[in-house]
Structure 1
Amino acid sequence: MMSETSPQTRTPALQPAADWQRLLRVALLGSRQAPEALPDAGLVLPEPETHPDYREKQLLLAAGTLSLIRKAGFRPAPAPALAPGAPAAAPDAEPALGPAGAQLLQQLLDGTHASLLRGFLEDLPRHQRRVPHQLLVPLLEYARPRRDVHAATAAVLGQRGRWLAAQNPAWQPIVAGSSGASDETVWETGTLSERVAFLAQLRGLNPTQARELLVATLPQEPAKNQTALLDTLSTELSTADEALLEQYLTSKNKEVRQSARLLLVRVPGSGLVERLWRRAEPLVQLKRGLLSKKLLVELPAEAWDKPWLADGIEQRDTRFAGDKAALLGQMLALLPPERWSAHWNLSPVKLLDLAAGTEWAALLLSAWAEATQLHQDQKWAIALLEWFYEQPRKQLATLPAAGIAQVLSATQLTDLVLPLLNATPHLTPEVRWLPLLHLVPAPWPERLTRRVVELLRDALSRPEQLHRIHYAASQLLEYMARVVPAAQHDLCAQPLQPLLQNVPYLHNGLARLLNALHLRQQLIEALQEPPGPG
């Protein structure tokens, strides 16, 4: 028998998204002022509708019920989610995070220093830990629209989490990429993302078998699938893949052609590179004088024709202005930049100086920057960043610095930025080392953190300059909160904590940095905590 104070339940016809919006409208206008009917949350109050507080109680009850339904990952469906007799989840082998770790994970999912979440998830498997059961749905919902955390999420779900993800089509892509490569039925019947994941894993285990599957299957695939499947060849790329890729240089689809040529030019001893070199080398010549050198640049004499496609060159390319300039720009962007250094026996920095002195400076520098990223050439990446940031460059308005920086490690970028920082040891919005500093990835080396903290302490100790550096300092503090490792907490706290009360404009930025470092320390400790129940 139902208690007199307990609401009765009935089967609801719920539409959580629409009902929640209607509930918010009524709550904002006021339960007695809003004429709109409240959503039916599936519960009936024991009080009669004539009770003076009935509508307010109904609103609060509906809010609580809908909130629980939303957190539980409810999806309306015309049929039961599980087929009769569907197997239950297997027991979990890995221990779950302890209570403190679960609480910290909940904070990250709620948005507190969310940038730390991916790193924490990646640390869990290394310590043989998984996500507690009560946080599986919040984690799956968080990861659903964020492809960059799919792999890290799939690795920590455990058996129950993987079973749960399989019940919801919106969550299935999260675990699709982590399925085992032993089940070859995935290749025949899986979704595109599952097939790509299967093939990428197989490339690491048996490149020959993976290539044979592509040879047999690609001709029957639509262009979208061809592009995605060809990109899996980037794993274990070798000369054995060249014949397959050459077939798709003249595909009718531009994206397929692009995937093929970007892979082909990275094949050792690539025939495409040699064909491009024969086209490009006569167009860029080095004139040597007694005391100087000069680059002479010509555009191709002939117009584009279909045979150019076989050499990886499109008729038009919006990266470069002018039809014939686009032909030369594409060649330079595909050729390894070190080929030019070796050809003329000149350092990359010297070549950049010579290029800047020509009327085609923008084309040469932009194309070589693209080629540096494509071929992951660290020598050229260092030269480009040094050359660009050491002094103002009018010849090149922009440089794809973020992409070039990804070629280098945190240590290499630190070696680049520290001399620039020491040459201009002042924090101002115009200082040239500041954009480069924001490209140094985590974890920052201690020597870089120490020097930046010294500059911050010096800059923030001058109240008369705070209005000028407020934005730049705020952005720097936000970035440091993401990249400074936990072990450097004291290195930051001792000099900066005394400034919290003296710089009210930057109080929040300083507090977030110190809190983020403290939270990182707690996350590390949580990995050593005794496991929680379940």
Structure 2
Amino acid sequence: MVAAALLGSERRRPPGGSVTALLDAAATETVRRRAGARPAVSRQRPEPAPADEREPLPSAAERRLATLLADRALSGSSPAGAASGRRGSGPDLGELLPQWLAEANAQGYRAPAALLPALLDAARARTDLRAETLAFAGPRALWLARHNADWKFALRDGVRHQIPDEHPQETERLWQEGLFAERVALLTTVRQRDPQAALALLSSTWQTERAEDRLMFLDSLRLGLGPADEPFLERALTDRSRTVRATAAELLATLPGSALAARMAKRARSCVALDRMGGAGSALAQSSGHRRESPPAAGIVVEAPHACDTDMQRDGVVAKPPTGRGERAWWLVQLVEATPLEVWSEQLGGLTPAQIVALPVADGWRDDLHAAWCGAAVRQRNPAWARALIGEPTEPFSEGPGDPAKLLAVLPEEERGEWAARFIAAHGLSEAFRILGVCGVPWSLPLGRAVVDALEIARDAGSYPWSFSGVMGLAERCLDPADAERLAPLTAVPDEKEGESPGAGAYWAESFQRLVATLRLRSAMLAELREGRREEMPGPREG
């Protein structure tokens, strides 16, 4: 019957010889199955949702949240007018939700019960909302998630709030019996509190876990990674899963004192050295009892590996390079990335990271070597090397092998903002989008002014306004709301210039109108969320 129904009566003769007979037989089979079904066993009603003792939202803030969630649902999490390329002059409310949630959590409010489903739907659609949403929703989010599979992400991301320190038996029970999402979250939570307890928990079931589960569990060890994790990670280097082995090797490489880091350093030392024929680098570093600021005359010579043996592969070196990449360069980069950066000062004559980066590299190996150092600086979170490799903001991106945004993220937040402001002042906004994304929010005063100045310069130069829509969107979320009144004059439509794109001036004015409106709205949002707290503050004492 199924074959005939799927293939059609022209290709498969149905039972009874006709379509009518097939439908009659299907109806009969349906009645037979329904008649044979056993009644469901009644179950107890679920326990009520746990109480949330935090303060309720001020009424104005609750209305604002409802508006933000309704706008997100109507727009499908996409800026209005995205399909046509124009958003209008009104703020994009959906993009304000992350900041609203962060401030509500900072003020210690609880989520309104009636808005919990909409909040969880928003967090389901956007992973960047989940942490703040679950903190705001509190224990009721987990209760709801157990009754609706659409919100099962909350069991993974929110379980950290349900296991108190004083109940280790509950931790063990959840680890043995919980859903995979709950177990991942549990391991992360325990890792935050007690890294060794989390490692013991993982070790207790490691051999019986599936390969894909082992990978997720192993990744949780990044939090609080330390020397005590090395024996477990060394054993994981022999895991039957290639991805598990690679992750274990990566984690060991971030431990400067690990045996793997020492093995990789030994291999890398044999590949990279000072060019003694080009000058005495070590003597230069030791002369006069102090370091010279100018780079030494010596260069660097590279002898990349000629083979990738089994020991290298056990330590995480992938033998087969990506398409278009040479084998020796591929192996060299992996070795250097996994080598502790402190090794290179000793290997290269006691020079500083800035001096080492300034050295010439023979035979065209510079880009590969610098790319490997960039990867090591990001992996090891080394500000000195990141600072040396990212260079001065006056240099364009194209001259460096590493991702400047990743290197910038390693630097302290204040330094990031200063570097980005100087970069924008030197180069404008054409390549600034990547680096703006790693700067702290709200942007610092110098960075905010640099962005606005660059936008105004681009407008006055007759540039296409659509090219800066991404930066303008970032500015709406990241500029200090106090800048709204300073930007108000830019909302006027400028006179159209000769050679300018038709309608460009109106578009620029519309963009600045939306920016100012968004900043004012953000200011109002913050005031609404802080309203209740101001009322709780004691007034001045009399007498």
Band of TM-score, shorter chain: 0.7 to 0.9
Structure 1 residue 315 corresponds to structure 2 residue 309: no
Q: 1:491 to 1:155 in 2, by over 3 A?
A: same
The match for 1:97 among 51, 54, 57 is 57
- Partner residue, 2:402: 399
Deviation per CA, 1:293-318, whole angstroms, max 9, x where unpaired?
Answer: 111111223x2232223333222242
Mapping of 1:286-365 within 5 angstroms?
286-288=274-276, 289-290=278-279, 292-301=297-306, 303-318=307-322, 321-344=325-348, 345-354=350-359, 358-365=363-370
For residue 400 of structure 1, report the CA deviation from its aligned partner: 2.1
Mapping of 1:19-418 within 5 angstroms?
83-109=43-69, 110-111=71-72, 112-179=92-159, 180-181=162-163, 182=167, 183-184=170-171, 185-288=173-276, 289-290=278-279, 292-301=297-306, 303-318=307-322, 321-344=325-348, 345-354=350-359, 358-386=363-391, 390-392=394-396, 399-418=402-421
Query: Matched residue of 2:68: which SS?
Result: helix
Q: 1:210 to 1:392 in 2, by over 3 A?
A: closer
Report the number of matched residues: 442
For residue 347 of structure 1, report the CA deviation from its aligned partner: 3.3
For residue 241 of structure 1, report the CA deviation from its aligned partner: 0.8
- C-alpha contact 1:176 1:197 (8 A) present in aligned 2: yes
Q: 1:208 to 1:339 in 2, by over 3 A?
A: same
- C-alpha contact 1:478 1:509 (8 A) present in aligned 2: no
User: Given residue 389 of structure 2, which amino acid in structure 1 is its aligned partner?
Assistant: L
User: Given residue 68 of structure 2, which amino acid in structure 1 is its aligned partner?
Assistant: L
Distance of 1:194 and 1:81 partners within structure 2: 28
Q: 1:295 to 1:159 in 2, by over 3 A?
A: closer
For residue 107 of structure 1, report the CA deviation from its aligned partner: 3.2
- Partner residue, 1:440: 439
User: Given residue 478 of structure 1, which amino acid in structure 2 is its aligned partner?
Assistant: G
Deviation per CA, 1:151-171, whole angstroms, max 9, x where unpaired?
Answer: 211111145444223210121
Distance of 2:517 and 2:323 partners within structure 1: 43
Mapping of 1:477-516 within 5 angstroms?
477-493=472-488, 495-498=489-492, 503-516=505-518
Distance of 2:139 and 2:42 partners within structure 1: 17
For residue 394 of structure 1, report the CA deviation from its aligned partner: 6.1
- Partner residue, 1:21: none
User: Given residue 253 of structure 1, which amino acid in structure 2 is its aligned partner?
Assistant: S
User: Given residue 416 of structure 2, which amino acid in structure 1 is its aligned partner?
Assistant: L
For residue 80 of structure 1, report the CA deviation from its aligned partner: 10
Distance of 2:42 and 2:529 partners within structure 1: 35
Distance of 1:240 and 1:371 partners within structure 2: 22
Q: Give the TM-score normalised by structure 2.
A: 0.74
Query: Matched residue of 1:492: which SS?
Result: helix
For residue 367 of structure 1, report the CA deviation from its aligned partner: 1.4
Distance of 2:440 and 2:530 partners within structure 1: 26
Q: 1:193 to 1:220 in 2, by over 3 A?
A: same
Distance of 1:520 and 1:81 partners within structure 2: 52
Q: Give the TM-score normalised by structure 1.
A: 0.75
- Partner residue, 2:455: 456
Q: 1:469 to 1:246 in 2, by over 3 A?
A: same
- C-alpha contact 2:302 2:361 (8 A) present in aligned 1: no
- C-alpha contact 1:489 1:518 (8 A) present in aligned 2: yes
- C-alpha contact 1:90 1:159 (8 A) present in aligned 2: yes
User: Given residue 405 of structure 2, which amino acid in structure 1 is its aligned partner?
Assistant: A
- C-alpha contact 2:491 2:510 (8 A) present in aligned 1: no
Of 331-340 and 270-279, more deviation after overlay is shown by 331-340
For residue 393 of structure 1, report the CA deviation from its aligned partner: 6.8
Q: 1:210 to 1:299 in 2, by over 3 A?
A: same
- C-alpha contact 2:68 2:96 (8 A) present in aligned 1: yes
Q: 1:337 to 1:499 in 2, by over 3 A?
A: farther
Deviation per CA, 1:37-83, whole angstroms, max 9, x where unpaired?
Answer: xxxxxxxxxxxxxxxxxxxxxxxxxxxxxxxxxxxxxxxxx999994
User: Given residue 107 of structure 2, which amino acid in structure 1 is its aligned partner?
Assistant: H
- C-alpha contact 1:280 1:332 (8 A) present in aligned 2: yes
Distance of 2:479 and 2:356 partners within structure 1: 36
Mapping of 1:510-529 within 5 angstroms?
510-529=512-531
Structure 2, unpaired ranges of 5+: 1-37, 73-91, 280-295, 497-504, 534-543
Distance of 1:81 and 1:526 partners within structure 2: 50
- Sequence identity percentage: 29
Query: Matched residue of 1:156: which SS?
Result: helix
User: Given residue 417 of structure 1, which amino acid in structure 2 is its aligned partner?
Assistant: A
Distance of 1:437 and 1:145 partners within structure 2: 24
Distance of 1:385 and 1:246 partners within structure 2: 33
Deviation per CA, 1:454-509, whole angstroms, max 9, x where unpaired?
Answer: 3433443x3xx32x24234433222211211323333433x534458983121332
- C-alpha contact 2:409 2:416 (8 A) present in aligned 1: no
- C-alpha contact 1:410 1:444 (8 A) present in aligned 2: no
Please give the root-mean-square deviation of Cα atoms over the aligned residues, in Å: 3.0
Deviation per CA, 1:259-311, whole angstroms, max 9, x where unpaired?
Answer: 1112112225111111111111011111143472111111223x223222333
For residue 228 of structure 1, report the CA deviation from its aligned partner: 1.0
Structure 1 residue 474 corresponds to structure 2 residue 469: yes
User: Given residue 127 of structure 1, which amino acid in structure 2 is its aligned partner?
Assistant: Q
- Partner residue, 1:56: none
Distance of 2:119 and 2:432 partners within structure 1: 38
Q: 1:394 to 1:457 in 2, by over 3 A?
A: closer
For residue 101 of structure 1, report the CA deviation from its aligned partner: 1.3
Structure 1, unpaired ranges of 5+: 1-77
Query: Matched residue of 2:143: which SS?
Result: helix
- C-alpha contact 1:338 1:380 (8 A) present in aligned 2: no
